[in-house]
Amino acid sequence: MSRNAESTAFRSALEVIRAVEPRVADAIGAELTDQRESLKLIASENYASPATLLAMGNWFSDKYAEGTVGRRFYAGCQNVDTVEALAAEHARELFGAAHAYVQPHSGIDANLVAFWAVLADRVESPALKKAQVRQVNDLTEADWFALRRELGNQRMLGMSLDAGGHLTHGFRPNISGKMFDQRSYGTDPTTGLIDYDRVAEAAREFKPLILVGGYSAYPRKVNFRILREIADSVGATFMVDMAHFAGLVAGKVFTGDFDPVPHAHIVTTTTHKSLRGPRGGMVLCQPELADQVDRGCPMVLGGPLPHVMAAKAVALAEARRPDFADYAQRIVDNAQALAEGLLSRGATLVTGGTDNHLVLIDVSGYGLTGRQAEQALLDSGIVTNRNSVPQDPSGAWYTSGIRIGTPALTTRGLGTAEMDQTAELIHTVLTQTTAGANADGTPSKAKYTLDPGLADKVAGQATDLLATYPLYPGVDLS
């Protein structure tokens, strides 16, 4: 698409929106300005291409399409069939998967589809039918316990939250924690790395139905061959949630033992993050689980979102181009350069570095909580998110860590030299921020002090750093 075409497309769209609700048009324009001017270091965010964004704003949004390709519960879905089939084809070819299901609305939805597919495949129980006739929200803790018992008291073993796992891997606040009796494996307290012998020991003792691999805040590669061997040794289904690092798998940065697709029975992912597509989810699986996975709607999902599936097809087609592999490698190169820049300035990093797209800073060494550091950095034009570190003394809300990632800045074209400059800006803010106190004089985990002049100076430096790497250079809304 030419730059003139991109500008015309987005400018025209905003004009149409403005005629109905100008405040929405203003907010959309403001979001583009904010993203252009700030250092986006949130590891789970990226910038989708203009083609991907435009694929979501069309008449597919008006369609109901429950079912699967060729087997819909609504008539008139022939065009939806086309885009869903294309998205699934691109996914299979990109990842070397036997089967791809592209309907999930999010990563959480993709995980739910996977969980229920495994349960339905493994267990035939009247409890499933009982759960369908009652409102899930009406089920008490005793009901969930009874349901689990009827399902064989199924168990899930996944990475702990403070070690980098995700809420959807069996933790109580999430529905997965009510579906399964869950236990966690952590990391070595000295190195911060997965201890596969301890995972194997936990699996032998706990005997889970599902062993989950994958993470949201673990800065190293995972050996999926070893985890599959552990799963096989106890008869567990091996599931991998690769939402964060799917782009590194697609770009062939993670291969062999570090590519989950050849080793897992079932793989879930988002289609944004490092894959650089629209917000959504996807399930890849071995042939024996395909029929159950394809029942995701209506088993777990509501109606598919055809306009998002169209955007997934576009983004997955982009990821099959040769330049995507170069992009994926640069993500890791940049993350390692960012880690080195922080380490050379005295920062403490979980595991001492990174093999992937993210870096986890333990900000307790700066005398701060994650919440204080997150806000101070935001004041300075640097967008991050607070995150737990292993054995975090500040808990999951305030945390002691900051998670940063390089997919978005790599999309803009920044390289390793700019990562070192970014490390300097982060270090400057964190060293100049001090923890505040509550009204009664006790230490606060949220309040902090940062000279506004310094924050403005760093924000200006961040904007200057980005000036050479314009975001959506083909889009001019003026």
Q: Which H or E element spans position 405?
A: strand 401-405
64 in catalytic set = yes
355 in catalytic set = no
Residues in the chain: 478
Instruction: Let me know if 27 is exposed, middle or buried by CB neighbors in 10 A (0-12, 13-18, 19+).
Output: exposed
For residue 13, which of 75, 63, 58, 49 has the smallest C-alpha distance?
58
* Tokens of residue 128, six digits: 């499933």
Q: What is the CA radius of gyration of the chain?
A: 23
269, 270, 399, 406: which one is catalytic? 270
CA-to-CA dists, residue 40 to 154, 202, 467, angstroms: 40, 38, 14
**The residue type at 271:** T
CA-to-CA dists, residue 184 to 206, 219, 363, 395, angstroms: 10, 18, 25, 17
Furthest-apart CA atoms within the chain: distance in Å: 66
241 in catalytic set = yes
CA-to-CA dists, residue 432 to 115, 215, 263, 373, 452, angstroms: 46, 32, 46, 10, 11
Q: Which residues pair with 403 in a beta bridge?
A: 360, 385
8, 18, 64, 428: which one is catalytic? 64
241, 294, 362, 392: which one is catalytic? 241
β-strands 39-40, 382-383: how paired?
parallel
273 in catalytic set = yes
Q: Which residues pair with 211 in a beta bridge?
A: 157, 238
How far is it, in rounded angstroms, from Cα 430 to Cα 433?
Answer: 5
How far is it, in rounded angstroms, from Cα 408 to Cα 273?
Answer: 8
How far is it, in rounded angstroms, from Cα 331 to Cα 404?
Answer: 12
User: 79-113 burial, b if ≥16 CB within 10 A, otherwise e?
Assistant: ebbebbbbbbebbeebbebebbbbbbbbbbbbbbb
66, 121, 181, 195: which one is catalytic? 66
178, 279, 330, 412: which one is catalytic? 279
Positions marked active-site: 64, 66, 241, 270, 273, 279
